[in-house]
Amino acid sequence: MNEQSSTRHSTAPSIRAETFEEITGRFAGQPVNSDHVDGRDFAIHVMDDRQSEYEPFSNATEYALVHWFLQAKCSKGDINRFLSDPRLLDIHKLVTFETFDEMIELVHEIPYGIQNDGWTTTEITITSDIQGVLDNTYKLRFRDIQKSIEFLIGHRPFADSLAYAPIRYYNGDNNERIYNELHTADWWWDTQLQLPTGATVIPVLLSTDKTIMTQHHGDEACWPVYMTIGNLNAATRRKQTVPGSVMLAQLPILKENTNKDDIKAHAYHTAMEIILQRKTSKIS
């Protein structure tokens, strides 16, 4: 048994790592509550300023009790009876709410999603140089890309799945470079050198695909744009059960008779410039 374990261990490749800090003497991914570093604007690791990981609940016991109530699908009457039972007075002293309604108010205070989120609707007009082709106006809906980035980089459940600094991996046996996640690439390392100490690179990854709304509107379609960040490891980005990607925008659906590729390309690029905050447009 021990001999077999030793054999398996001896054949496993050894991995050597070089961190950005140990090679350059500089660090990246400093947790801060501002988006300013050295007087310049950079996308950096945004941490919330909550005093406790259980906030808005007063302590771990209060959080656990509310979690149990909701997971067990207790009714409003069940919870009120529990909270009014004099035999459970010692437990009541550990929580700040006395009724179901007060408990729900606390639940609604749980921070989630993108803070101060909202959708903006704007119009883009596509003008054609082709004689006889009329101008077309399309609606574009999008949300703030910076707030979306801050949500993903500061989402607490992602804490163990995020990379804030580049790293180099080598096969210890033959010193060959190993590339897997984005932060193991030379591009990330070289870009990090251009940033001030404490900042971090945040690669923005976009994807889009026309979607037919089959469940309720089989005759309607939308063209969503999804965004994620390269700091999040590939396994987490691909999970369907976590918000590894957020919907950033809904591109306009061009009319069926718009078959000119240059018009479609113009509409697409104009929309993406607005979404990425590189171009302004009249807000409707």
Which helix (H) or strand (E) covers residue 122, if one does? strand 119-126
| Confidence band for 14, pLDDT divided at 50, 70 and 90 | confident
pLDDT at 161: 93
**Is pLDDT larger for residue 51 or for residue 166?**
166
Q: Match 């007060």 to its residue by tokens.
A: 102
- Mean of all residue pLDDT scores within the chain: 80
In this prediction, residue 157 carries a pLDDT of 82
How would you classify the pairing of strands 167-171 and 177-178?
Answer: antiparallel
CB 46 within 8 A of CB 198: no
What confidence category does residue 68 fall into, taking pLDDT thresholds of 50, 70 and 90? Answer: very high
DSSP at 47: -
pLDDT on residue 77: 95
Give the pLDDT mean for 173-184. Answer: 91
Question: pLDDT tens for residues 129-158?
Answer: 666 667 778 889 999 999 999 889 888 788
Residue 36 is which amino acid?
H
Dihedral sign from CA coordinates of 68, 70, 73, 74: positive
Q: Strand pairing partners for 36?
A: 41
pLDDT higher than threshold 60 for residue 34: no
Query: How far, CA to CA in Å, does 250 sit from each of 145, 149, 152, 284?
Result: 13, 17, 19, 15
* pLDDT the model gives residue 29: 85
Q: Is the pLDDT confidence value at 280 over 80?
A: no
pLDDT (tens digit per residue) in 78-89: 999 999 999 999
Of 39 and 213, the structure prediction assigns the larger pLDDT to 213
pLDDT of the residue at 255: 63
Q: Looking at mean pLDDT, say which of 3-17, 109-123, 180-194 comes out highest.
A: 180-194
Q: Does the pLDDT of residue 44 top 50, yes or no?
A: no
Under DSSP, is residue 35 helix (H, G, I), strand (E, B) or coil?
A: coil
pLDDT at 35 over 80: no
CA 97 – CA 106 distance, rounded (Å) = 8
Task: Please determine, for residue 39, whether its predicted confidence score (pLDDT) is greater than 90.
Answer: no
What pLDDT, on the 0 to 100 scale, is given for residue 37? Answer: 43
pLDDT in the model for residue 216: 53
Q: What's 13's DSSP letter?
A: P
Site of tokens 């009714």: 75
List pLDDT tens digits, range 98-121.
Answer: 999 999 999 988 777 787 788 999
Task: Tell me the percentage of the chain whose pLDDT exceeds 70.
Answer: 76
